[in-house]
Amino acid sequence: MKSNIYKSAAQVTVFSTIEKILSFVYRIILSRSIGAEGLGIYQICLSVFAVFLTAASSGIPVTVSRLIAKNTATGNAKGKHAVVSSGVLLTLLFTIPAALVLFFARDLYSFLFPDRDCVDIFLWLLPGLILTSIYAIMRGSFWGNKQFLPYSIIELAENAVMVACGCVLISFATTAKNGARAAIIAVLISYIFSFAVSLGWYFIKGGKFVNPKSQFKPVAKASLPITAMRTSTSLLNSCVAMFLPALLSRACGYSSSEALALYGTVLGMSVPMLFIPNSLIGSIAVVVAPEMSENFYAKRTELLRRDIERTLKSAVAIATVLIPVMFTLGEDIGKLFYASELSGVVIRRFSFMMLPMCISMITTTILNSLNYEVRTLIYFFAGAVAMIAIILIFTGLLGINAYMVGLTMSFVITAALNLHLLKKNCPDINYFGYLVKSVLICAFACAFGHLFGTLFDGILPAVWKIVLCGGVVSAFAIIAFYGMEMVSARPFKKLFSRG
């Protein structure tokens, strides 16, 4: 059983890593092809769309996965199809009316965008609201049934379709706005692809739509808090996309185009680099969350405790290895990949944000698996309020850095509250000593990386400096973990074992 978990986690991680590398390369292509202004428009359109997409489907796939695991634990095979059918019905009840309203009432929300052309670019995403929401339910069914290979392949293929179409379409763009429109059309094409393939796979593997009556209420009730939290996250990002450029103009004296370019640089270049751990942690969460839910409902307490500890420690270890790399090479990464000194400075300065971010993300997943969706929603709002307050108060003093400080503080608050609740309800879990040792390793690795990296300034080209120093600094942290007996080779042995 455990070897299957390790293999599934490794499988999802490999595919996810390839997908993120592809996205990373694509973002570099976009930044160089359509510029910071075009990337800012692209980011704003996706941020606004994400609010409605999140409201439509963000909480339902997780709930579908958990309830499928519950029905597996209780032996209710018929309930699985009803869970999926309920999820599809719920998302259609929202997405179809929402898409129609957004299309015909575009003048009511045009103030969210810099100008009318941006609204027209946004409208290209509306068909994808319905299609990708249904795909999200299929994705939840894959998770719950532990079909991680098809899920991984479809996710990677969707991204590959977007990148391929995007590269072709933006090559014909002559302005920043035309480039943003081409990139958005590529997103829509990728949504059509994943919808068709995932639905076909679901039916091929014996899935079907049945009367959802028995599972409709449980799905709706459990998904509402998760949807509210994730919708609030998207809404928060959209609000920031709307008022932050204006706030920068008013408080710091930037022109409208300068503020939009600054927003595009930080939100479109620096932040995605700092969010790299999320893809790795997300891969772990996808595999472990159904297992934890099944153990929770089956009352397998010891297995549940073990899964929680290992998952939490894995998230901390990922952050500990990546922070020194970003701290050492942030500026080189910004200059090499984005031709932007500012993006590199932001990556370096706020690399430490990754630790509370990783803890916040994984503990939220764990608590949702244990039926604490309402509490995680409350904790999210506590962090969001702190973030908005910091942005509003300190933008005049810190400029765009106020956003990064607020984002960091929101993760710190959420992580602390989640850990407190987790310890309160699972008192046997042991993580504090591991966390303290990880912080010490991270500090020493950052110091070592800084000293080691300065040896090659002006000697090695940036790309070779990143490869060499990144590998050495990562190895330093990993060796420290082994030296302090904080990791074991046992999972890797199970990964490659046959039994």
DSSP H helices in 34-125: 35-57, 59-74, 77-104, 116-123
Whole-angstrom distance, CA of residue 473 vs CA of residue 145: 39
pLDDT-derived band at 417 (thresholds 50, 70, 90) equals: very high
Mean pLDDT of 198-219: 86
Residue 497 has pLDDT above 60, yes or no: no
Question: pTM value?
Answer: 0.71
255-273 average pLDDT score: 81
8 Å CB contact between 313 and 394: no
What's the CA gap between 128 and 133, in Å, rounded?
Answer: 8
Tokens 């009556």 belong to: 213
Here the tokens at position 93 are: 């009840």
Amino acid at 34: I
pLDDT single digits (tens) 481-490: 887 777 665 5
**What pLDDT, on the 0 to 100 scale, is given for residue 492?**
47
Give the percent of the chain with pLDDT over 90.
26
Q: How far apart are CA 356 and CA 435, in angstroms?
A: 11
For the chain, what is the mean pLDDT? 84
Q: Which of 208, 229, 192, 193 minimizes the C-alpha distance to 62?
A: 229
pLDDT at 496 over 50: no
pLDDT at 415: 94
User: Do 316 and 92 contact (CB within 8 A), yes or no?
Assistant: no
The tens digit of pLDDT for each residue in 56-102 reads 776 788 788 878 877 777 777 777 888 889 989 988 988 899 899 98
The pLDDT-based confidence of 199 (bands split at 50, 70, 90) is very high
H-only helix segments in 370-431: 373-398, 401-425
Six token digits for residue 115: 């100008």
pLDDT, tens digit, 9 for 90 and up, residues 33-47:
888 778 888 888 887
d(C-alpha 246, C-alpha 252), whole Å: 10
Q: Is the pLDDT of residue 493 over 60?
A: no
The predicted pLDDT at position 489 comes to: 54
Residue 14 vs residue 137, higher pLDDT: 137
> Can you tell me the distance from the alpha carbon of 198 to that of 88, in angstroms, rounded to the nearest whole number?
13
Q: How far is CA 240 from each of CA 78, 111, 138, 284, 389, rounded to the nearest angstrom?
A: 44, 14, 31, 29, 12
Three-class SS state of 145: coil
Residue 159, both tokens? 């991204």
CB 283 within 8 A of CB 12: yes
Has residue 235 got a pLDDT over 50?
Answer: yes
Q: Where residue 166 falls among pLDDT bands split at 50, 70, 90?
A: very high
pLDDT score, position 488: 61
Q: Which candidate, 134, 122, 141, 233, places its Cα nearest to that of 191? A: 134
More confident: 380 or 293: 380
pLDDT band at 473 (very low <50, low <70, confident <90, very high): very high
Q: pLDDT band for 322, please (50, 70, 90 cuts).
A: very high
Please state at what angle helix 35-57 crosses helix 126-144, rounded to 10 degrees. 60
Residues 6+ apart with CB under 8 A from 72: 80, 144, 294
Cα 135 from chain centre: 17
In 3-state terms the chain splits into helix, strand, coil percentages (rounded to 5) of 85, 0, 15
Using a 10 angstrom Cβ sphere, with 0-12 exposed, 13-18 middle and 19 or more buried, the burial of residue 170 is buried
- Among residues of the chain, what percentage have pLDDT more than 70? 94
Q: How far apart are CA 382 and CA 386, in angstroms?
A: 7
Listed ranges 49-53, 245-249, 349-353; the one with the highest mean pLDDT:
349-353
More confident residue, 234 or 429: 429
Q: Which residue has the higher pLDDT, 242 or 318?
A: 318
